[in-house]
Amino acid sequence: MFFRKSSPRKKISAPVAARLIAVLGTARRYLLIPALSAVVGFGVAVVLLNPQWVAGATARQKAVQFQPVDSLTGQAGTLWSSLKEGVLTGVRMPDWSKDFAVVASSLDIPAVFNQILPDHGLHWPDWLSVQALLSRLPRPGQEGFAPRAQVTEEGRVQTQFSSCPQFFPAGYTPLVPGAPGLRELCFSAFAILHGGQTRTPVFVVQRLNRASLIKAREVSRTDRFYADARLPLAERAELSDYAGSGYSRGHMAPAADMPTPEAMAQSFSLANMVPQNQRHNAGAWSRIEDDTRKYVMRARGDVFVFTGPYYGHRNEPAAAGRVAVPSHLFKVVYDATEKRAWVHWHWNSDETLAGPPIAYAEFVRRTGLQLLPTD
């Protein structure tokens, strides 16, 4: 009996194997970016073809779009929780496109990508995130934009805030001087009259009390700033406007006042910011915010706080030349139970000290802003 002698198997040499591994590694390195880009692009296309989703999601301002996550599991959990809470309430879209649109908007693509390839020196830029792309793209009919306030023949604006009257004492909405691009924005724990000419708020109003501040102590700060998609591109601040400007993104409604995670996330809208001197923000202004919280904790009822910028004769642009830098900041504190008000009036300067407040009547004379009921 004869046995055919089997031919020896050819072995791959070590150099060839090493080269093959390198090629596969390079392919994985460069193919992941186009693959993830395709997912992002498809999500953007779904949103643009469904403006009802834009109107519903941006109006509700759910924190799922802005909350950071520590892992893919956390991202999925955040998304699922938001769906159960009714993020899609009132949105008229096919089920598959609704779900995909929320997934696309909520996924933090830079964080996900950087977790997949942490050791290859690759970083997905923030400006390619879904949130950044959606905020820059125009929507058909602009359904998601906040309505523009109407200026009367006398050059004044009687604000309405019909979606959030609870933030105003006795239901009185402020009367303010007319200006281009005034829009009303409602959030969970505050409301904003935004000025499109300066790309900053005219004022931000809060309704504070002891119970809300006790809740705020349990909420962690998020520090995730974002451009507000309810404002047109020509009227809103972008993250790039503050980069390298030398100014802080100064909260008007302080993050430390926010009673829920959703309100905390919303407080980092750039619509709630002004370019603020860094030393003033961390020093004298921070002490005013702390003193206001201490007063609210002692108060017997609600305290309404209006905070905003004043420009006077100064309209100095920030480094990017788009966001106006205020000369002063104000904080009007009104105790609705005691029927008394006072105003903190600060230069936006590193030399400012926390001095005594001014009278509300003097504030109205300086600014023309009638924020409180007259009776």
Q: Which residues are catalytic?
A: 251
And the tokens for 44?
């953007």
Closest CA to 238 of 211, 269, 216: 269
What's the rounded Cα separation, in Å, for the pair 172 and 181? 22
Helix (H) or strand (E) holding 175: strand 175-177
Provide φ and ψ at 346, rounded to 5°.
Answer: -125, 140
Hey, is 303 helix, strand or coil?
Answer: strand
Buried b (16+ CB within 10 A) or exposed e, 201-210: bbbbbbbbbb
Cα 323 to Cα 160, 319, 338, 346, distances in angstroms: 25, 8, 38, 19
Cα 154 to Cα 151, 160, 184, 362, 365, distances in angstroms: 8, 17, 20, 22, 17
Q: Checking DSSP bridges between strand 247-251 and strand 273-277, what pairing results, if any?
A: antiparallel
Alpha helix (H) residue ranges in 107-181: 109-116, 130-136
Close Cβ partners of 170 (under 8 Å, ≥ 6 residues apart): 336, 373
Closest CA to 195 of 79, 67, 298, 323: 323
DSSP 354: -
What's the rounded Cα separation, in Å, for the pair 364 and 371? 8
